[in-house]
Chain A
Amino acid sequence: MSKRIPLFVILLVVLSLTLVACGGQQVVEVTRVVTETQTEQVEVTRVVTETQTETITEEVEVTRVVEVEAAAAEPIIIGATGPLSAPGSVGGGIAMQFTAELAVDEINAAGGVMGRPIELIFVDTQGLPERGTAVAERLIEENGAVGIIGEYHSAVGLTMKEVCHERHIPCIFSETWNDDITASGYDEVFRLAVTSTLVASQQINWLEALGFEYVVIIAENTDYGVPASQAQVDFMTERGIDSDVFFVELGTEDFLPVLTRIQEGERTPDAIMVLVTGETSYNVEQQMAEIGLAPTEETVCVANQVAINAEYWDNVPDGNYCAYLRVGLTPNNYNDITKSVDDAYRTQFDRPAPSFALATYDSVYVMANAIEAAGSTDPDAIIAAIEATDVTLAQGHYYFPYGMNNPVPDDQPAWMWHQWPDAAVVIQQYFEVGQDPDNAAVVFPPAFQTHGTALIPYGETP
């Protein structure tokens, strides 16, 4: 008896599994039959009599109700990634998650895409490349994502793009600057953020305009910091500016050993440029100021772009006169969408929306619009629709000048492939302690200068 019970249980389990499996197939078949019926009835409508048409129309309406109900239970899944835990830039990831969800809520409130709601699955990558691979595969294989948007860290983007390519799923990167992400020329990969080279060229134009001869770069030892600093060094070498790069690990707190080493060096740098993200950049900048390395009359502090964030003054109280790169629009260039997203962001976080948060919001819309335009979730159709993007969103007017129908010409850099080319990049400089970034001086390029100068000298008021 004791031997029969397990056998009986096994048989029951096998039987149950078989029934469940058959049941699942039956549901699918029923759905298909309904759809086929609809198609046949519609075709008949065009040739039969008026009386017959009325009857048949009723049938079609019933069929549509069935379809809508089925679709309501089956949302279109869009994957999104960003760092939500250390060692990634958690603040960046949370900002991206918020605006991505904001966009999805708006789209669903407006009826969704192809009459179906969008379901956003936002996954934590921790800023780790290996996590990027794992989460992208999970989103595609397990969650059935038809496209992926987001990501903050280039190191993660570089691994994710390979998965997107191998699985042939469109990916729109919102804040990964590494040139190689789009330079790979993959059909599936798009970017709404700037590139390291684009940023570097703007900064070097500024340094050249100031007549600087020697610049020190402090860069994080990651797939963002290494190529970004290399791009800066290449540009500087071309323009005859000497440079040294000091690499640091993300998450380091104490920078005094290397900062005092720079301070005791033979040459006083004209500028120190910080290519380190997150709170680590604040530690670098404050410690530079504490020991009197920069900003000073001799050395300009070029802070990381996160100097635009509200917490800058709490963390770098001695950071007055630091310049920083501002990626994204200045408030006087905001359109209605930008204002709407910025308002929602301010309500949530009590600070202005950073460019990558806006870009993430826009990425959701670009992906959703493409699915709608494609009329299906077929990857090829979505990719073709993204290439044909022509829409104005929070960061401006989006389009992709180079793609499958218009390959990147030889005189353009390879990273222009599927690259939105019009991201705004200006250099701003604080000149008052606690200053709002919206009131900081725009010092470069000359066309946007607000105070008629490319640099406000240390200790002076423009």
Chain B
Amino acid sequence: MENIEPTWILLGTMAWLLVWGILGGVRTPNVYRHKNLNPEGTRVVGMLGGMLGGPILLIPLWYFTPKVNSRYTAVLGILLSIALYRVFALYDPDNLCVTNYNYVINQTANGLQIGFIYALMAVGLTLIYGIQGVISFAHGQHYMIGGFISFFFLKWMAESVGIPINPLWGILVAGIGTAILGFIFEPLFLRPMHQGKIERPGEYAILVTFGLAFLLENATLSIVGPFPQKAPGYTPGIGMINMGPWMLGSLELGPVRLVTDRLVASGASVLLIGLLLIFLNRTWIGRALRAVSMDKQAAAVAGVNPLSMNTLAFGIGTMLAGMSGAALVPIFSWVPWIGAEAAGRSFVIIVLGGLGSVPGALFGGLIIGLVEAMGTACFPDPTRGLAYKAAFGLVIFALMLLLRPTGLFGRKET
């Protein structure tokens, strides 16, 4: 193998994946149908099996036609990933992802940290969609507003009140501020849609949330100006009073080196997502929200007011976006137009995870965070890795649409 040109390894692998992947994906469901068996899930298994083993796996699969489940998909996915990694090592043996395991561990940790923060924002978007059936195009602007609320609150506390406080408090205040925005906007502009007062509700929802996005972005630009802002960093630990103006740096845990600010932000994200899941699963209101997302009419019969739940869902969704922004304002430079890219990424995450699924948004966020980090870190041409960062996530997104249009945790329309 060492004598083979790397380009031929790459081309050969791609040809193998393409030919056997397509053959497995197309032929396998037909084989199951031909034997009067349930073909659900067989397309993915057939494709993964074809890509991994070609005829060695496909012929037994077609002959024995076992009942496939998610375990088959998971095992084949893991084995294919290992195989592709081995091929990658042959293609680019000097790549840091092949030669330096500490580097791989660090990049994985980076990807997971940023993935949790991505997930927090996406969870809000998917919650709104799950309950209201509306994609909020102003979600990125709520994220941006949350960052600015936190920034100005911290600044006011430090400069006017004279008590510099930890940015964790900013997350709380931003959550309250953006929730209020959501609670005001929804009854005024989205509720008429659910009351049957709007002739074309689908188009209306897009237009009204787009309008809100433009309004929020340009109003913020007028108020705060175009110059980037950034809040002081988090202090390590749980102390609520800053120990110094800029407690930045990194924390080393064995081979893993973590930037403390990101660690705190991702920890806050995990905590908030956990609280949301507890709220949705353990409280009456949370269950009522889930009931509305499953069947509005049945929920109404059971005594749940869908209109109130719509408002609550929108408020919680915008609150999560705002808190996500507030978590990041000590990490990234903040400008009024920062929400656009974050919103685009959130759309990708919720489609990847399954529209309306909170666990799907969590896993989607982690997958996008990991894929972007590892894609950038391992891309054979290091000088171009970051230029293609968004593309790595979109490749996964496109594959998911191709193989499982409902997303990881999505439900089929009935």
B384 within 8 A of A: yes
Q: Which of B246, B328, B385 contacts A258 (CB under 8 A)?
A: B385
Residues of B within 8 A of A314 (CB): 228-230
Residues of B within 8 A of A248 (CB): 386-387
Distance in Å: Cβ of A101 to nearest Cβ of chain B: 16
Task: Check A290–B110 contact: CB distance below 8 A.
Answer: no
B372 within 8 A of A: yes
Q: How far is the CA of A256 from the CA of B109 in the complex (A)?
A: 11
Residues of A within 8 A of B374 (CB): 257
B414 within 8 A of A: no
A144 within 8 A of B: no
Q: Which of A246, A256, A261 contacts B259 (CB under 8 A)?
A: A256
Distance in Å: Cβ of B97 to nearest Cβ of chain A: 9
Query: Which B residues between 103 and 131 are near A, CB-CB below 8 angstroms?
Result: 103, 106-107, 110-111, 114
Task: Check A261–B96 contact: CB distance below 8 A.
Answer: yes
Residues of B within 8 A of A87 (CB): 337
Residues of B in contact with A (beta carbons under 8 Å apart): 96, 100, 103, 106-107, 110-111, 114, 221, 225-230, 232-233, 245-246, 248-250, 257, 259, 261-262, 328, 332-333, 335-338, 340-341, 372-374, 376-377, 382-387, 389-390
Task: Check B221–A258 contact: CB distance below 8 A.
Answer: no
Task: Check A256–B110 contact: CB distance below 8 A.
Answer: yes
Given contacts A257-B377, A260-B377, contact A318 B246 (CB under 8 A): yes
Q: Which of B328, B340, B376 contacts A86 (CB under 8 A)?
A: B340
Number of A-B contacts (CB under 8 A): 128
Q: How far is the CA of A290 from the CA of B376 in the complex (A)?
A: 19
Task: Check B250–A291 contact: CB distance below 8 A.
Answer: yes
Task: Check B332–A253 contact: CB distance below 8 A.
Answer: yes
Task: Check A261–B382 contact: CB distance below 8 A.
Answer: yes
Residues of B within 8 A of A289 (CB): 248
Task: Check B383–A90 contact: CB distance below 8 A.
Answer: no
Query: Which A residues between 259 and 280 are near B, CB-CB below 8 angstroms?
Result: 260-261, 264-265, 278-280
Query: Which A residues between 216 and 252 are near B, CB-CB below 8 angstroms?
Result: 221, 244-249, 251-252
Task: Check B250–A290 contact: CB distance below 8 A.
Answer: yes
Q: Mark A294-336, 1 if CB is under 8 A from B, else 0.
A: 0000000000000001110011011000000000000000000
Supply 15 A–B pairs (Cβ within 8 Å), ascending by A: A90-B336, A93-B226, A94-B225, A246-B386, A247-B383, A247-B384, A248-B387, A257-B386, A264-B103, A286-B230, A291-B257, A311-B227, A314-B230, A317-B245, A349-B225
Residues of A within 8 A of B262 (CB): 256
A449 within 8 A of B: no
Residues of B within 8 A of A282 (CB): 228, 230, 333
Task: Check A90–B382 contact: CB distance below 8 A.
Answer: no
Task: Check A260–B389 contact: CB distance below 8 A.
Answer: no
Task: Check B110–A279 contact: CB distance below 8 A.
Answer: no
A254 within 8 A of B: yes
Task: Check B110–A221 contact: CB distance below 8 A.
Answer: no
Task: Check B389–A290 contact: CB distance below 8 A.
Answer: no
A458 within 8 A of B: no
Closest residue of chain A to B261 (Cβ to Cβ) is A290
Distance in Å: Cβ of B96 to nearest Cβ of chain A: 5
Task: Check A257–B390 contact: CB distance below 8 A.
Answer: no
Q: How far is the CA of A33 from the CA of B246 in the complex (A)?
A: 74
Task: Check A251–B341 contact: CB distance below 8 A.
Answer: yes
Task: Check A90–B96 contact: CB distance below 8 A.
Answer: no
Q: How far is the CA of A280 from the CA of B106 in the complex (A)?
A: 23
Distance in Å: Cβ of B250 to nearest Cβ of chain A: 6
Closest residue of chain B to A251 (Cβ to Cβ) is B341
Residues of B within 8 A of A349 (CB): 225, 227
Residues of B within 8 A of A261 (CB): 96, 103, 376-377, 382, 385
Distance in Å: Cβ of A304 to nearest Cβ of chain B: 12
Task: Check A317–B385 contact: CB distance below 8 A.
Answer: no
Task: Check B246–A317 contact: CB distance below 8 A.
Answer: yes
A16 within 8 A of B: no
A439 within 8 A of B: no
A392 within 8 A of B: no
Residues of B within 8 A of A246 (CB): 382-383, 385-386
Residues of A within 8 A of B337 (CB): 85-87, 90
Q: How far is the CA of A9 from the CA of B152 in the complex (A)?
A: 60
Task: Check A290–B259 contact: CB distance below 8 A.
Answer: yes
Given contacts A86-B337, A260-B106, A260-B110, contact A247 B387 (CB under 8 A): yes
Residues of A within 8 A of B376 (CB): 257-258, 261
Q: How far is the CA of A249 from the CA of B107 in the complex (A)?
A: 19
Q: How far is the CA of A58 from the CA of B386 in the complex (A)?
A: 74
A401 within 8 A of B: no
